Amino acid sequence: SQQGEEDPQALSIQEGENATMNCSYKTSINNLQWYRQNSGRGLVHLILIRSNEREKHSGRLRVTLDTSKKSSSLLITASRAADTASYFCATAERGYLFFGTGTRLTVIP
Amino acid sequence: DVKVTQSSRYLVKRTGEKVFLECVQDMDHENMFWYRQDPGLGLRLIYFSYDVKMKEKGDIPEGYSVSREKKERFSLILESASTNQTSMYLCASSFDNQPQHFGDGTRLSIL
């Protein structure tokens, strides 16, 4: 049973623009995590936001969490071609993670 | 840096074969996980283990079993491979409730 649902499924932007991806989930969570996956590789953890936090920053990444709406967003500022990847949100529940289907981001040089 | 190593990047097997996928982590993590990833379905948890010889079913355990005889190694077993098990298999490990560290995956084709 998947928790997260990312939106949009695919996003294409020019280098230097900002990219925003959204995630909605269904039940109460302990935390929400964002991961990145380059083509043909494993997932890499980007950032974790706890249920009592509203916003978190890490370099060019900004994550928000709205537990009343059961949604989160990931903002990548000043995008680079190297940011091209799939991005997944994952919610922590019952000791393991539920992943969404991901947003495929393409950054055009 | 944590390293999670999956024994094969690509594997081709025939239907009915018994298939072993191996995963080793080098950070003494208690928790280890096996996922499969299919287009449009995201990652789905097959099994996880929170200690040696302990295992828990995930969302899609049917057709699979696991083995964890040593803390660093978690094996996924396809008892009798079928074509609908063609997929990307990802192993991950974590400490306590910390973020998971993933291997690079095994792309398995069942002919």
* Structural domains of chain B in order of their starting residue, each with its CATH number: 4-95 (2.60.40.10)
Q: How far is CA A38 from CA A88, B55, B99, in A?
A: 11, 29, 18
Q: Which of B1, B100, B104, B107 to mutate to test the interface with A (most CBs of A within 10 A)?
A: B100
Task: State how far the Cα of B56 lies from the Cα of B15, in Å rounded to an integer.
Answer: 26
Query: Into how many domains does chain A fold?
Result: 1
Q: Is B89 on the interface with A (CB under 8 A)?
A: no
Q: b/e per residue, A38-57, with b = 16+ CB within 10 A?
A: eeebbbebbbbbeeeeeebe
Cβ within 8 Å of B, A 7-66: 30-31, 33, 35, 40-45, 48
Q: Which residues of B touch A2 (CB under 8 A)?
A: 42, 44
Q: What is the mean pLDDT of residues A78-89?
A: 96
Closest B-chain CA to A2: B44
What are the tens digits of pLDDT across the range A17-50? 999 999 999 888 889 999 999 998 999 999 999 9
What domain range is A85 assigned to? 5-108
Kindly provide the residue ranges of all beta strands, DSSP E only, lying in A25-102, ordered along the sequence: 31-37, 43-50, 55-58, 61-66, 71-76, 85-93, 96-99
Give me the pLDDT at residue A3, please. Answer: 62
Smallest Cβ–Cβ distance between A2 and the set B42, B100, B103 belongs to: B42
- Give the pairing type, strands B31-38 and A31-37: unpaired
Task: Report the percent of chain B where pLDDT is more than 70.
Answer: 99
B1-44 pLDDT per residue, tens: 769 999 999 999 999 999 999 999 999 999 999 999 998 888 99
Tell me the percentage of chain B whose pLDDT exceeds 90.
Answer: 89
Cα–Cα distance for residue pair A52/B46, rounded to 1 Å:
30
